[in-house]
């Protein structure tokens, strides 16, 4: 019963997105340009046709495309809205509704993610094919990679919600979130696979949640192996569990704060 509710909210949100025609077009144009630029840089680096840290040029280009796709699909503009909602005490309104507030946010974010992933994904795949040619994929590999991507998205949503909740304590959490997003480019493995970093740096970064949103899903795609699959999945589940606990705690503290201050 309640799942249906969430789906209908998600659907409305998806319909809204049709009116953001220009926004999406621009985003896609920029994305294509960036991927293109990055591909050129990597082509220059791989000019001798070598393999670097386990990656060939074809693989690195597909890797970049995947990370860009993931980041573009999970980038969430609603954090300001959530932050404002929470701060203005609207939270107390939703508390009265049978909908679980967090659940509602998940539904909205998920619909956004699917919509973006599919629309941008088509373009990115074509682009990658044009730039690098085909990459060997197995059917089971694809299915399992999709699972990792989805879990990565869920993990990312948890992180976004935590930032949004911070709005209860900070005047402006959107700028911190922006800083976080930019940092993910580096530590999440978006620009270069974590394998390219010095070993000691890599060994720290792969335990961070950010790598489970970007690096592991993209790597699973280009370097699929069952061990990689399991490592990624387990890491994601652990982090998701940790964040759910943190979120519940913050949410409870937040509710107390909102009700004390009269919302």
Partner 1 sequence: MADNFNFFKAIYRLEFKSALEYRWNFIFQSFGMLLQDAFWLIFWGLLIYKFQSINGWNFKSILYLNSIIALSYGITATFFGNSRRLALLIEQGQLDYYLTLPKKPLFHIIAKFRYSGIGDILFGVILAFFCISLKQIPLFIILNICSCIIMISWSILFGSLPLYFGKFEKAAKVANESLLTIAFYPMGTYTSFVKFILMFVIPASFISGIPVQLLTNFNLNWFLGIIIFAIFIFVLSIIVFYKGLKRYESGNSMQMRG
Partner 2 sequence: MSQEKGKEVIIVKNLSKRFETKTKEKGFLGTIKSLYAPKYKEVVAVNNISFSLKEGELVGFIGPNGAGKSTTIKMMTGILFPTTGIISVLGFNPQEERIKLAYKIGTIFGQKQQLWYHLPPIDSFELFAAIYEIDKEEYKKRLDELVKLFEITPYLNTPVKKLSLGERMRCEFVASLLHKPKVLFLDEPTIGLDIIAKRTLREFIKKINEKEKTTIVLTSHDMEDIEELCPRIIIINHGKILYDGSTEKIKNKLNYKRITFYFEKTPEKLPEIKNVKVIEKEKFKVLLEINKEKVDIKEVIETYLSKFNIIDIDIEDPPIEEIIEQFYRK
Which residues of this chain interact with partner 1, rule CB under 8 A? 19-20, 22-23, 25-27, 30, 33-34, 36-38, 40-41, 43-45, 77, 170-172, 175-176, 179, 182-183, 186, 191-192, 196-198, 201
Counting residues that bind partner 2 (by CB under 8 A) gives: 4
- Residue 139 near partner 2 by CB under 8 A: no
Nearest to 177, CA basis, from 161, 199, 196, 153: 161
Near partner 2 in 16-75, by CB under 8 A:
18-19, 21
Instruction: Report how far residue 219's alpha carbon sits from residue 67's, in angstroms, rounded to the nearest whole number.
Output: 9
**Which partner, partner 2, partner 1, none, binds residue 196 by CB below 5 to 8 Å per kind?**
partner 1
Q: With CB cut-offs between 5 and 8 Å by kind, which of partner 2, partner 1, none does residue 41 bind?
A: partner 1
**Greatest Cα-to-Cα distance within the chain, rounded to the nearest angstrom:** 66
d(CA 161, CA 91): 14
CB of 43 to partner 1, least distance (A): 8
- CB nearer to partner 2: give 18 or 139: 18
Find, among 240, 183, 243, 187, the residue nearest to 215 by Cα: 187
Calpha distance 18→2 (Å, rounded): 26
Single residue of 2, 7, 12, 15 touching partner 2 by CB under 8 A: 15
**Short-list 189, 175, 179, 114, CA closest to 149:** 114
Q: Is residue 83 classed as helix, strand or coil in its secondary structure?
A: helix
15 binds, among partner 1, partner 2, none (CB under 5 to 8 A by kind): partner 2
Binding residues for partner 2, rule: CB under 8 A, are 15, 18-19, 21
């Amino acid at each position: 019963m309640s799942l249906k509710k969430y789906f209908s909210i998600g659907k409305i949100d998806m319909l809204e997105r049709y009116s953001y025609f220009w926004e999406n077009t621009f985003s896609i144009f920029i994305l294509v340009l960036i991927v293109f630029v990055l591909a050129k840089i990597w082509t220059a680096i791989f000019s001798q046709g070598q393999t670097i840290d386990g990656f060939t040029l074809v693989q690195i280009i597909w890797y970049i495309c995947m990370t860009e796709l993931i980041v573009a699909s999970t980038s969430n503009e609603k954090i300001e809205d959530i932050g404002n909602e929470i701060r203005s005490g609207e939270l107390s309104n939703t508390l009265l509704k049978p909908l679980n507030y967090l659940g509602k946010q998940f539904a909205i974010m998920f619909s956004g993610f699917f919509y973006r992933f599919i629309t941008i994904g088509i373009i990115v795949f074509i682009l990658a094919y044009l730039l690098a040619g085909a990459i060997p994929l197995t059917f089971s590999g694809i299915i399992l990679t999709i699972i990792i991507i989805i879990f990565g998205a869920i993990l990312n949503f948890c992180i976004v919600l935590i930032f949004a909740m911070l709005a209860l304590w900070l005047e402006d959490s959107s700028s911190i979130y922006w800083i976080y997003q930019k940092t993910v480019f580096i530590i999440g493995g978006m620009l270069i696979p974590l394998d390219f970093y010095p070993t000691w740096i890599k060994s720290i970064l792969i335990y961070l949640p950010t790598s489970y949103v970007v690096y592991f899903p993209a790597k699973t795609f280009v370097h699929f192996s069952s061990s990689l699959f399991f490592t990624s999945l387990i890491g994601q589940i652990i982090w998701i569990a940790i964040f759910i606990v943190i979120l519940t705690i913050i949410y409870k503290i937040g509710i107390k704060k909102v009700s004390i201050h009269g919302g």
